[in-house]
Structures are given as structure tokens and as C-alpha cells.
């Protein structure tokens, strides 16, 4: 096992990793920008290193500074959290060349699955069902037209290097195609420095269902069930639950087995998520995330596993401690992402938090790095906390969610808490009847 790891992240996920490491008796090194000198992850870590000025590109994405921080502190491994450098193959490669262990999959696996076209090709080869679409990148309008004819409209144009729900455009007919392709290309170029796009059938009423997997890099892999992340705004998840209200045990076992077999074949190491759209009882692969996800706690709640500790164990060379038959699902869990944003317009609301009070009690978990008097900097993601409730049933989660949202106080900034309180009055939410477009439609007709 490692003696010391460096956590290349900030906010709630840096704390999450720090807690897992501490339980395993591992020393932690925090890194931070000058804007985060007073952040909770810095206060709680055994050591900390300032790695640059506020903009992420100069600090949390600053590879030389992070490698130097490892060398100065003698950290043997780096946990990247999510976002920032967590899916950066170059970073994993540089760490390897410095004999520092990247807590995550191999450079090759990150690279393959990070290129969305390559990922789809690989998934198909490994027997995972994919969304119909172009064979590879689409570079000219004639090819785009041919793909549109073959798969039928509407289609969605997506960036090969995409992420965070950006750079996607829908074309409802051939007349809309040319503009959609060129806009997607220029947005992709601006956002990711790579303008390549590909085309997929646009599914009109799917749910977003993803499968959590865990592999040991030695050819063994298991799945930990699914999460339903269909409640999205601008393709960004805000509420996640496990199990999905739309799936039965047989469907779960089937897709889970298919995915874990594929991951075993790839010798996948660590945790990963295979994302699908699910429509008319069919799964369609959209992408893989080769890292820990924001919404991992709902899986922890229904499996009892600590996913971060499992990541660290396999990174340290341990074989998987579980067989598929050891994994027992129990109950239901729901996560709400608490963002410092206006609950209706989603405009960020950084600033000083005068007071916070977190809910507690049976079946309630709050992952957050907030504290009273903390100033939320304007430079980073607006996620300030995650409320996770679990219970024997989905109905029990609803009851618990209502109760814990009413206890949750963040004074001084706007948050998305009122949105979740309103959602709990919606029959569709209570019944689990929602698809990926439900929230946008709801927001369009709602006043906060
Ligand atoms: P990103 O990497 O930017 O998150 P994804 O490929 O994971 O992009 O897609 C994010 C979201 O965009 C999905 O959860 C879904 O809501 C929507 N989406 C993606 N592909 C399609 C598609 N073929 N049809 C309909 N919606 C889609």
C-alpha cells in the first residue's frame, strides 16, 4: 500500500479522497491555487503545496507544478478526482515516466476511451450496443448528408473530444444539417482545441443510464449496478439515483455482465463508467468515463463499497477483493447536486458563505467542502456539495430528501436547493417517470 498520495483536485472530491486515504492510513498531500489557500481540503490534508494562480490552467491543470509537488513531498501516487486532469492521458504518461502511480486506468485505456469515436469503435468490438451513427469523424457535408440519410433524422452532431455536455448540435432535417455541423465544428474547436465531430441518431425520449464498473487491471472486472442520471440541464446531470426506476434486475444483470466482460478484456484498472442512453428497453452506448464520477456515492450507498478505497487498492497492485456474486444491492439512493447558482437561471453565485448547516440523521450523507465564513471563488465549477439520501425504497428516499433539504442551510449565496424542493412536488419525479428532456421542459414552464 502507498504511504503517501497527492490529491490533484479541490472541493468536495478532494475531501472525499482525503477521507478514504486517511482511513487506509495513507498520508495526504493537497495541492491548491492561491485562490484556495483557505479551502477545506488544504486545512485537512497532512501537507499542502501551492501550485499556482487562480485560473485552473495555471494551477489544477499545471502538470509540471503537480509533478514537482509530488517530488517535493515524496508522494508515491496521485489521485486525480474528477474533472481537471482525471482523464488526461498525457498526465498519466508523465507521472509514469516519473515513477509516480496514477490512480486510474492505463494510459492506453484513457486514450482510447477519451476519444469518443475510438471509444464507440472499441465498445462495438467488445460487444457493447452503440447508438447508430457515422463510422468515424465527419469532415465534410456530403458525408454528413449520407449519414443522415442512412440513420434518419433527427441526428445529433457531437465533438470527438467533447465533454461536459458542450459542442452538441441537433439537426431535425437535412435542411438543418449544414449549419448544425459547422456550428458544432467551430464550438468544438473553441472548447477543446479539436474541431472533429461525429454524427449519431438523436434519441428523442431516452433515459441516461450508466453502469459502474471496477477492474483490477489484471483481467478481472465486476459491475456495481447502474445509476439513472436522466435529470439534466444542458446535458449536465443534477440528480442521480440508483437503481434506475426504469430497469429490472434481469436487465441490470444482462447489461452489467456485458459491460464487465468487456472491461475484463480491456484489463481495465480502477473505477469507470459506461454511459448509455436507454430507450424502448434498448441500451445505446454513448461514452465511457475512465475516472470516478461525481455521482459515485449513490452506488456506494446501495453496495456498501467505498469506491475510492477500491481505486486506491487496485492502484497499489491488489487483485479485486470481490467476485460479482459478492455484490449485493440493497435499498435505493438519490443524490442532488447542490450548486452555488440561481435555482432557475443557473447563473453562478460565488461569494461569501456566512453560515452553513448540513442535514444529518439516518440515511443522509453530505459531501461538501463548505464551511461558515468560506468564500466560494468564482474561478471553478459551481458544485458546492452533494446531498445523498438512502433508504429501503425509493419512496423512503423521497421522504428523507424532503426532510433533509429543509434542514440544509447555505446562507450568503444562491443555491439549487429550492429547485430540488420544487421537484419533490412533481408527480413525474415521485413516480420516476422522466427522461433526459424532462427537466428542460419543466424549467421552461416554471417560476421559482
Ligand atoms: P459529454 O461527454 O459532453 O457529457 P455525452 O456523450 O456523455 O457528452 O452526452 C451527454 C448527454 O447528451 C447525454 O446524457 C444525453 O442527455 C445527451 N445526448 C448525447 N448523445 C445523444 C443522442 N444520441 N441522442 C440524444 N441525446 C444525446
pLDDT digits (tens, 9 = 90+) for 358-378: 999 999 999 999 999 999 999
Respond yes or no: is residue 121 known to be catalytic: no
Shared domain check, 280 and 226: yes
- Confidence (pTM): 0.96
Collapse the DSSP code of 307 into the 3-class scheme (helix H, G, I; strand E, B; otherwise coil) and give the result: helix
Instruction: Determine the average pLDDT of the residues in 203-227.
Output: 97
Q: Which atom of ligand 1 is nearest to the CA of 200?
A: 23
Which residues have C-beta within 8 Å of that of residue 98, sequence separation ≥ 6?
67, 70, 71
Domain annotation covers residue 64: yes
Shared domain check, 212 and 186: no
Assess whether the C-beta atom of 405 lies below 6 angstroms from ligand 1: no
Assess whether the C-beta atom of 286 lies below 6 angstroms from ligand 1: yes
Instruction: Determine the average pLDDT of the residues in 63-88.
Output: 98
Which residues have C-beta within 8 Å of that of residue 116, sequence separation ≥ 6?
158, 159, 160, 161, 162, 198, 287
pLDDT of residue 447: 74
C-alpha 287 to ligand 1 mean position (Å): 8
Shared domain check, 213 and 192: no
Range of the domain at 93: 4-103
Percent of the chain with pLDDT over 70: 100
C-alpha 110 to ligand 1 mean position (Å): 19
C-alpha 19 to ligand 1 mean position (Å): 32
C-alpha cell belonging to residue 6: 497527492
CA nearest ligand 1 atom 11, residue? 235
Q: What is the pLDDT of residues 39-63, one digit of tens each?
A: 999 999 999 999 999 999 999 999 9
Assess whether the C-beta atom of 232 lies below 6 angstroms from ligand 1: yes
**By the 8 A CB rule, do 419 and 400 touch?**
no
Q: What is the pLDDT of residues 280-329, one digit of tens each?
A: 999 999 999 999 999 999 999 999 999 999 999 999 999 999 999 999 99
Q: Distance between CA atoms of 179 and 52, rounded to whole angstroms?
A: 40
C-alpha cell belonging to residue 135: 463510422
Shared domain check, 94 and 16: yes
pLDDT of residue 99: 98
Candidate of 235, 279, 441 to mutate for ligand 1, largest count of ligand atoms within 8 Å of Cβ: 235
Shared domain check, 184 and 83: no
Shared domain check, 319 and 259: yes
**By the 8 A CB rule, do 28 and 21 touch?**
yes
Assess whether the C-beta atom of 32 lies below 6 angstroms from ligand 1: no
Residue 265 Cα distances to 124, 131, 133, 203, 219, angstroms? 13, 22, 25, 29, 6
Q: Assess whether pLDDT exceeds 70 at residue 448.
A: no
Percent of the chain with pLDDT over 90: 96
Q: What is the pLDDT of residues 151-182, one digit of tens each?
A: 999 999 999 988 877 879 999 999 999 999 99
Which residues have C-beta within 8 Å of that of residue 393, sequence separation ≥ 6?
331, 332
- CATH at 362: 3.30.470.20
Q: What is the pLDDT of residues 12-25, one digit of tens each?
A: 999 999 999 999 99
Shared domain check, 220 and 85: no
Residue with the bigger pLDDT between 437 and 163: it is: 437
Q: Which of 311, 287, 282 is nearest to 299 (CA)?
A: 311
**By the 8 A CB rule, do 82 and 17 touch?**
no
* DSSP strands (E only) in 280-381: 282-289, 332-339, 351-352, 355-357, 364-368, 375-376
Domain annotation covers residue 118: no
Shared domain check, 195 and 220: no
Shared domain check, 149 and 97: no
Which residues have C-beta within 8 Å of that of residue 37, sequence separation ≥ 6?
50
Q: Assess whether pLDDT exceeds 80 at residue 385.
A: yes
Candidate of 286, 290, 440, 441 to mutate for ligand 1, largest count of ligand atoms within 8 Å of Cβ: 286
Q: What is the pLDDT of residues 222-278, one digit of tens each?
A: 999 999 999 999 899 999 999 999 999 999 999 999 999 999 999 999 999 999 999
Shared domain check, 373 and 279: yes
Assess whether the C-beta atom of 275 lies below 6 angstroms from ligand 1: yes
**Any bridge partners for residue 357, and if so which?**
409
Q: Distance between CA atoms of 223 and 251, rounded to whole angstroms?
A: 13
Domain annotation covers residue 108: no
Number of domains in the chain: 3
* Chain mean pLDDT for the chain: 97
- CATH at 163: 3.30.1490.20
- Tally: H helices and E strands in the chain: 15, 20
Q: Which of 125, 10, 92, 56 is nearest to 270 (CA)?
A: 92
CA nearest ligand 1 atom 8, residue? 165
Candidate of 148, 165, 293 to mutate for ligand 1, largest count of ligand atoms within 8 Å of Cβ: 165
Amino acid at each position: 500500500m502507498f504511504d503517501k498520495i497527492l490529491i490533484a483536485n479541490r472541493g468536495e472530491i478532494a475531501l472525499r479522497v482525503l477521507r478514504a486515504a486517511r482511513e487506509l492510513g495513507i498520508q495526504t498531500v493537497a495541492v491548491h491555487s492561491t485562490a484556495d489557500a483557505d479551502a477545506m481540503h488544504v486545512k485537512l490534508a497532512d501537507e499542502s503545496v501551492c501550485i499556482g494562480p487562480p485560473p485552473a490552467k495555471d494551477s489544477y491543470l499545471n502538470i509540471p507544478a503537480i509533478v514537482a509537488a509530488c517530488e517535493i513531498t515524496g508522494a508515491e501516487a496521485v489521485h486525480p478526482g474528477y474533472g481537471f486532469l482525471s482523464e488526461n492521458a498525457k498526465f498519466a504518461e508523465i507521472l509514469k515516466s516519473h515513477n509516480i502511480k496514477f490512480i486510474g486506468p492505463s494510459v492506453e485505456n484513457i486514450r482510447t476511451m477519451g476519444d469518443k469515436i475510438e471509444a464507440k469503435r472499441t465498445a462495438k468490438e467488445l460487444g457493447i450496443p452503440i447508438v447508430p451513427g457515422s463510422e468515424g469523424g465527419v469532415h465534410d457535408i456530403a458525408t454528413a448528408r449520407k449519414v443522415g440519410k442512412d440513420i434518419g433524422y433527427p441526428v445529433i452532431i457531437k465533438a470527438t473530444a467533447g465533454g461536459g455536455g458542450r459542442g452538441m448540435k441537433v439537426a431535425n432535417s437535412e435542411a438543418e444539417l449544414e449549419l448544425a455541423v459547422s456550428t458544432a465544428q467551430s464550438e468544438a474547436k473553441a472548447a477543446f482545441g479539436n474541431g472533429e465531430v461525429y454524427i449519431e441518431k438523436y434519441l428523442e425520449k431516452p433515459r441516461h443510464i450508466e453502469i459502474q464498473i471496477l477492474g483490477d487491471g489484471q483481467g478481472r472486472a465486476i459491475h456495481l449496478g447502474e445509476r439513472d442520471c436522466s435529470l439534466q440541464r444542458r446535458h449536465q446531470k443534477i440528480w442521480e439515483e440508483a437503481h434506475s426506476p426504469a430497469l429490472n434486475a434481469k436487465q441490470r444483470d444482462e447489461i452489467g455482465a456485458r459491460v464487465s466482460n468487456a472491461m475484463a478484456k480491456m484489463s481495465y484498472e480502477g473505477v469507470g463508467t459506461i454511459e448509455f442512453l436507454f430507450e424502448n428497453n434498448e441500451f445505446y452506448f454513448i461514452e465511457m468515463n475512465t475516472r470516478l464520477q461525481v455521482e459515485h456515492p449513490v452506488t456506494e450507498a446501495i453496495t456498501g463499497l467505498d469506491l475510492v478505497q477500491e481505486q486506491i487498492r487496485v492502484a497499489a497492485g491488489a487483485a479485486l477483493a470481490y467476485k460479482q456474486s459478492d455484490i449485493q444491492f440493497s435499498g435505493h439512493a438519490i443524490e442532488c447536486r447542490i450548486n452555488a447558482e440561481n435555482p432557475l437561471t443557473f447563473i453562478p453565485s460565488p461569494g461569501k458563505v456566512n453560515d452553513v448547516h448540513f442535514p444529518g440523521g439516518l440515511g443522509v450523507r453530505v459531501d461538501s467542502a463548505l464551511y461558515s465564513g468560506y468564500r466560494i471563488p468564482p474561478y471553478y465549477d459551481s458544485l458546492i456539495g452533494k446531498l445523498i439520501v438512502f433508504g429501503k425504497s425509493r419512496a423512503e428516499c423521497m421522504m428523507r430528501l424532503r426532510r433533509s433539504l429543509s434542514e440544509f442551510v447555505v446562507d450568503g449565496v444562491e443555491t439549487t436547493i429550492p429547485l430540488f424542493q420544487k421537484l419533490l412536488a412533481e408527480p413525474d419525479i415521485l413516480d420516476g417517470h422522466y427522461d433526459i428532456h424532462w427537466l428542460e421542459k419543466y424549467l421552461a414552464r416554471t417560476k421559482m
